[in-house]
């Protein structure tokens, strides 16, 4: 593990934010690598089918104190359960000799086994991401509204895929099931034409949030859904479905 070190204190207020992050991450994969640096914490993971990838960056200011470097592998489901048991400030300390992460509050202590994960290192090219085109809705619309629409179609009508079509200043969402076809058109800021079809599973598993969501696209590139909060950024990349 390249002698990783992780010693940190997390406030009670930010503990709920960590629970929020972990609850989303575990939908992709139960086993993840926590990568630490002077900048904070990064978690990159793909779902087993490699259709969707997740890039989570947590600022060091998220923690009250942080001394950390290197990588440790954890079971994110177990980690989520342990954090949920904490009360007040939470302390973390990685024991390299035992390969265990100690998580504690004022009167409760957990030790969870950590491990080396034989997994891919994903690359998220910042230059290409910076060139992506955001979908900017007009007339008070939001990306959350688009996500909610897809969730409704999947929940009420069983839509398992949704198509995005951008033509000039219009975005059309459409879905087709055995029983019905659905279409919704919204006005957007002028943009280049683009189309993509996506599995609704990866959109419906997005969590309800008060943070801003931005949907961005680029030709021959996965759809990106970015959530920004004061201390973290979540980038979800969803590859389009293959078409005949």
Most confident option among 12-26, 186-200, 209-223: 12-26
Tell me how far CA of residue 64 lies from CA of 14, 16, 212, 226, in angstroms: 9, 14, 24, 25
What span, in angstroms and rounded, lies between the C-alpha atoms of 211 and 220? 28
**pLDDT tens track for 177-190:** 999 999 999 999 86
The pLDDT value recorded for residue 141 is 78
Confidence category of residue 233, pLDDT binned at 50, 70, 90? very high
Decide whether 5-113 matches 126-238 in CATH topology.
Answer: yes
In the predicted structure, residue 1 carries a pLDDT above the cut 50: no
- The lowest-confidence range among 20-24, 40-44, 85-89, 119-123 is 119-123
Confidence category of residue 2, pLDDT binned at 50, 70, 90? low
Mean pLDDT value of segment 148-176 = 95
In the predicted structure, residue 139 carries a pLDDT above the cut 50: yes
167, two tokens = 């033509």
∠233-88-72 over CA atoms, to 5°? 50
CB 40 within 8 Å of CB 59? yes
Domain boundaries, the chain: 5-113, 126-238
Global pTM value? 0.92
126-238 adopts what CATH topology?
DNA Polymerase III; Chain A, domain 2 (3.10.150)
Q: 12-25 and 76-85 are packed helices; what angle lies between their axes, rounded to 10 degrees?
A: 150
| Domain 5-113: assigned CATH number | 3.10.150.10
What span, in angstroms and rounded, lies between the C-alpha atoms of 187 and 137? 6
- The lowest-confidence range among 53-57, 121-125, 191-195 is 121-125
Phi, psi of 220 (to 5 degrees): 60, 40
């Amino acid at each position: 593990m390249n002698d990783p070190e992780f010693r940190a204190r997390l406030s009670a207020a930010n503990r709920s934010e960590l629970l929020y992050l972990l609850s989303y991450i575990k939908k992709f994969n139960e086993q993840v690598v926590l990568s630490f640096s002077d900048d904070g914490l990064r978690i990159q993971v793909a779902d087993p089918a490699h259709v969707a990838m997740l890039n989570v960056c947590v600022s060091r200011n998220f923690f009250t104190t942080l001394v950390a470097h290197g990588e440790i592998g954890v079971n994110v489901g177990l980690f989520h359960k342990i954090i949920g048991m904490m009360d007040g400030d939470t302390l973390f300390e990685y024991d390299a000799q035992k390969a265990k992460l100690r998580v504690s509050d004022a009167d409760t202590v957990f030790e969870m086994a950590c491990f080396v994960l034989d997994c891919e290192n994903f690359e998220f090219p910042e230059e290409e991401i910076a060139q992506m085109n955001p979908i900017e809705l007009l007339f008070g619309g939001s990306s959350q509204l688009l996500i909610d629409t897809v969730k409704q179609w999947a929940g009420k009508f069983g839509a398992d895929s949704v198509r995005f079509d951008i033509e000039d200043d219009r975005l059309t969402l459409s879905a087709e099931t055995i029983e019905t076809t659905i279409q919704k058109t919204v006005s957007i800021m002028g943009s280049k034409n683009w189309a993509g079809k996506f599995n609704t599973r990866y959109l419906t598993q997005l969590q309800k949030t008060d943070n801003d969501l931005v949907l961005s696209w680029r030709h021959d590139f996965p759809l990106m859904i970015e959530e920004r909060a004061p201390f973290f950024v979540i980038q979800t990349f969803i590859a389009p479905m293959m078409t005949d």
